[in-house]
Structure 1
Amino acid sequence: MLKVLNSWVERYFSDEEAILLFVFLVGALLIILTFGGMLAPVFAGLIIAFLMQGLVQQCKQKLSMSHKLAVTLVFIAFISAFMALLLVVIPHTWRQLASLLNELPGMLQKGQALLMLLPEKYPDLISVSHISVLTEQVGAEIGKMGQAVLSSSVNSIANVVQILIYLVLVPILVFFFMKDGGLILHWLTSFLPKKRKILDQVGSEMDIQIANYVRGKVVEIIVVGAVSYVAFILLGLNYAALLALMVGLSVVIPYIGAAVVTIPVAMIAFFQWGWTNEFFYLMLAYGIIQALDGNVLVPLLFSEAVNLHPVAIIVAVLVFGGLWGLWGVFFAIPLATLIKAVMNAWPQQHEQLHGQVADGDADD
């Protein structure tokens, strides 16, 4: 057993650069797991600054702006969008959510009345007792949802000071990360060895893919959510802002999000209109939005495709979502791509090392 283990260690950790990369990744993971809560504003500011960096570069290159002017203009745009989200979108969506929770018991009764018709049509498959048990379970889950929303409201009030601190700290960190990001990165890399071929290889491969993915995903959320909101408003659907927000965020979860969010959209439309033309018009518009997103918007935004198997994507979403919640789901594909890049870099270095050894033996 020890011989096998020693052979495995020698095979994958014989190069000091591989050990450096391993220590770097383990150290980063330990910092996130240990200090993730305390450093949450720093991570949030870093992520937002990373997203804004593309706009800063565009202003510098296409408009010939200085770095400080480009950072200032992009930061003003970020603050404007942030205040609109904080003062308009979130309160409006929260009111619609509270209203929906108040109307859910009535919707449940309508749904129960419709389900009670099934035992008459299919007595061999469904019984009245099954329908009763199902509605009781759904009612219990709705009650838990209401309690969760109420408790989150109370907790938010109790932690209002902490929220205000975050609202002040994050914009400040975003500004300085955009302004001095290059200096900070240079200072951090000065502590690393000058010979770091594998680390640079993984870093350069991930820089393009993560930048394209994260920025593209944010644009996709905004576009899909905004188009869905306009369509829902024009068709007169209730809770348009809440449902549009759900549709926009659903693009974060590949393959699963669109299917899951279809259920509340269809249910609210059905309870509002029933089996009418309005219901089918809405579902047609929703289907067109999803089709355009998958076949037009995604290919345009993600020019550098993430070459991952669908099974790997689903596993990454489940694993990282279970570890870090919504942030884990959002960064599941970049993290999976990082793991793939590391796995690809290690065998290449292993092959090069053995090739050098073989060449040395041949020269001798």
Structure 2
Amino acid sequence: MSQIFKANTGTSDNESHKGLANRDVYPFYIKAPLIIIGLYLFVLILSLLQDVAIPFAFAGLLAILLNPVYTFLERKNINKILAITLTILLAILVVVAIMLFLSSQIAQFGQMLPQMEQKFLTMLHDFQSWLTSQFGLSSQKQISMAKDALNGSKAFVGKTLNTLVGMLTFMVLIPLYVFLLLFYKPLILNFVFEVFEEDNSGQVAEILQETKGAVQSYIVGLMIETSIIAVLNSAALLILGVQYAVLLGVIGAILNLIPYIGGIIAIGLPVLMSLITGDNLTTPLLIVGAYTLIQFADNNIIVPRVVSSKVSVNALISILVVLLGGNLWGVSGMFLSIPFVAVLKIIFDRIDGLKPWGKLLGDKMPQHSPSKVVSKEEVD
């Protein structure tokens, strides 16, 4: 009977199976809202749990970064707990040394604050007078515009300050998270492998290995890049005779960790310092020129050769995720956004249905792009 029915309807076994398979695929107008709702709930959860998620995310990056040190100590037959403790103490000593260096520079900077405040007020008064004479803006109008600008940026500044305060509050939790992540690393890896089928164990191992390598190379590369930029910034400012050149150079290098946006802020700080402490515009213009050359060398020479990340994210996606990360988690979100997208790209590149998204995130241009665009005449 089944053969007669298939003969009468003109269908075959393959066609019937295809029809059943197509019935299981939801149409686009159903899948799209579900995806949007899922993304919205995911972002909402990240926003609501940022006080817990931010320190845990930083701890995850640090645990991956410190894992080679811990593995080296463990291979020396050092007790597991002692090896983790020594690894964390080494990282804390490095952070404390950097903080002591910056504190000594900031202490010297504080001695000039009264003089700089007086010079800044004088410059502000001159600028207000120039606006009044050139554009006819009264002092009240200028104050109103300044308040509007401050109110517009209050949300982002407030979120950034809350993030920084939260990071200081949970500073004790980060070493604890790192300790527990390293201690329970076998348990976590075993869970990841058991979640997926045994046939996919090779693919899972490849993804984990590439993720670890990409994050480690990214963070180590950033540390080396930051040191080089700090030296170049400080040398340029010392040559130009800018006060507190070392402090401003190091701060500029740290701000450079925030892709694209941090570099702009890094230029503004020494320019403002030279305007406050100097009496001419030549030095600020030279600072802009020197920092522009350093940024050019950073983007075209230092980053490609030093950072050497295994996953490259194109500039468009980088800017978008940095801005989105800033809106979500402030400065911490800006820093965490690039490693997060790099991990996503590794996963996308290993799953057939998500490979187009992985290509979209990357910076490798296709060799053969579509040369035709469907037009109305072609449809007709």
Change in CA separation of 1:335 and 1:169 when aligned onto 2, cut-off 3 Å: closer
Q: Deviations over 1:291-316 (max 9, x none)?
A: 33223321222223543332211111
Contact 1:108/1:135 (8 A) holds in 2? no
Contact 1:112/1:131 (8 A) holds in 2? no
Change in CA separation of 1:342 and 1:29 when aligned onto 2, cut-off 3 Å: farther
Map of 2:126 onto structure 1:
113
Counterpart mapping for 1:323-334 below 5 A: 323-334=328-339
Counterpart mapping for 1:200-279 below 5 A: 200=205, 202-229=207-234, 231-232=236-237, 235-240=240-245, 243-275=248-280, 278-279=283-284
Map of 1:49 onto structure 2:
63
Opposite residue 317 of structure 1, the aligned amino acid is V
Tell me the TM-score normalized by structure 2: 0.62
Change in CA separation of 1:338 and 1:187 when aligned onto 2, cut-off 3 Å: closer
Opposite residue 293 of structure 1, the aligned amino acid is D
Opposite residue 178 of structure 2, the aligned amino acid is V
Distance 2:91 2:331 in 1: 22
Contact 1:225/1:248 (8 A) holds in 2? yes
Contact 1:45/1:170 (8 A) holds in 2? yes
Map of 1:20 onto structure 2:
none
User: Which blocks of at least 5 consecutive residues in structure 1 are unaligned?
Assistant: 13-24, 121-125, 352-364
Contact 2:270/2:287 (8 A) holds in 1? no
Cα deviation, residue 262, structure 1: 1.6
Q: Deviations over 1:247-285 (max 9, x none)?
A: 123323333322233223212212322336654554454
Map of 1:21 onto structure 2:
none
Q: Secondary structure at the match of 1:37?
A: helix
Aligned pair 1:195/2:227, yes or no?
no
RMSD (CA atoms)? 5.0
Q: Secondary structure at the match of 2:340?
A: helix
Contact 2:348/2:355 (8 A) holds in 1? no
Counterpart mapping for 1:116-135 below 5 A: 116=129, 126-129=134-137, 133-134=141-142
User: Which blocks of at least 5 consecutive residues in structure 2 are unaligned?
Assistant: 1-21, 33-38, 357-380
Q: Which has the larger radius of gyration?
A: 2
Distance 1:4 1:174 in 2: 44
- Of 157, 174, 186, the residue aligned with 1:170 is 174
Q: Deviations over 1:161-210 (max 9, x none)?
A: x957x4444334434544x3542433433652343736555444433323
Opposite residue 127 of structure 1, the aligned amino acid is F
Opposite residue 316 of structure 2, the aligned amino acid is V
Question: Relative contact order, CA 8 A, sep 6+: which one is greater?
Answer: 1
Distance 1:325 1:45 in 2: 17
Distance 1:196 1:318 in 2: 39
Change in CA separation of 1:93 and 1:177 when aligned onto 2, cut-off 3 Å: farther
Q: Secondary structure at the match of 2:195?
A: coil
Q: Secondary structure at the match of 2:222?
A: helix
* Identity rate, percent: 19
- How many residues align? The count is 320
Change in CA separation of 1:194 and 1:76 when aligned onto 2, cut-off 3 Å: same
